Amino acid sequence: MQSFILNKEKAVNSLLYVVNKLEKADKHKTFKILYFADQKHLVKYGRPIIGDSYVKMDFGPVPSFVKSIIDGEIKDLEDVVANYGKYNVKGLKEADLEFLSESDLECLDESVSENKDLNFEQLTRKSHDFAYNKANWTIDYIDIAMSLKPKKEMLNYINQQMINERIEFA
């Protein structure tokens, strides 16, 4: 299975962007909005926004690095978000938009708009897509794209982007 390389700056700032856009952000909704934004960006532009590893959890895909930030498991990133209540999360600062491209913001905004009013069950159902159902644990980016049924040329392009990224950062 090939994947993209995590972009930590985009992950942190995408997380902040989403939780600050929501009136009341909870972990589940935040994870799903990021998933759908990455999925949308992948199919439109051939790469995800953050490149996090999405894992199959009971209630849908979860971005593992972002979850670690929210759970306070990364010492250098303890000042990003705060948890309140059992499931809610709040941004402790504004997103640095210098790390997010115009297309990143476009897909994040679309995902927030499309998913902010969905309840827990609706988001869970929506995120249990082709990629989620096919995965055992880590969700493959090609499968994430295939959930939206892109043209074969786009799937080939995404695959080549993953290969190129691995070569560039090797």
Pick from 100, 74, 92, 101: which is nearest to 25 by CA? Answer: 92
pLDDT at 170: 61
Q: What is the mean pLDDT of residues 142-154?
A: 97
- Residue 4 reports pLDDT greater than 80: yes
**Greater model confidence, 1 or 43:** 43
**What is the C-alpha separation between 165 and 167, in angstroms, rounded?**
5
CA distance 149 to 92: 37
pLDDT at 165: 87
pLDDT digits (tens, 9 = 90+) for 81-124: 999 988 999 999 999 999 999 999 999 999 999 999 999 999 99
- Does residue 65 have a pLDDT over 70? yes
Q: Tokens 């040329």 belong to which residue?
A: 153
Per-residue pLDDT tens digits for 39-54? 999 999 999 999 999 9
pLDDT at 1 over 70: no
pLDDT of residue 167: 82
Angle at which helices 120-127 and 27-45 cross, to 10°: 40
In whole angstroms, give the CA distance from residue 24 to residue 22.
5
pLDDT digits (tens, 9 = 90+) for 8-39: 999 999 999 999 999 899 999 999 999 999 99
Which pLDDT does position 2 carry in this prediction? 64
Contact 34, 17 (CB under 8 A): no
Sequence ranges of the domains in the chain? 8-168
Distance CA 157, CA 153 (A): 6
Check whether 169 has a pLDDT greater than 80: no
Residue 13 contacts by C-beta under 8 Å, 6 or more apart in sequence?
95, 96, 97, 99, 100
Residue 50 has a pLDDT of 97
**Cα–Cα distance measured from residue 79 to residue 149, given in angstroms and rounded to the nearest whole number:** 38
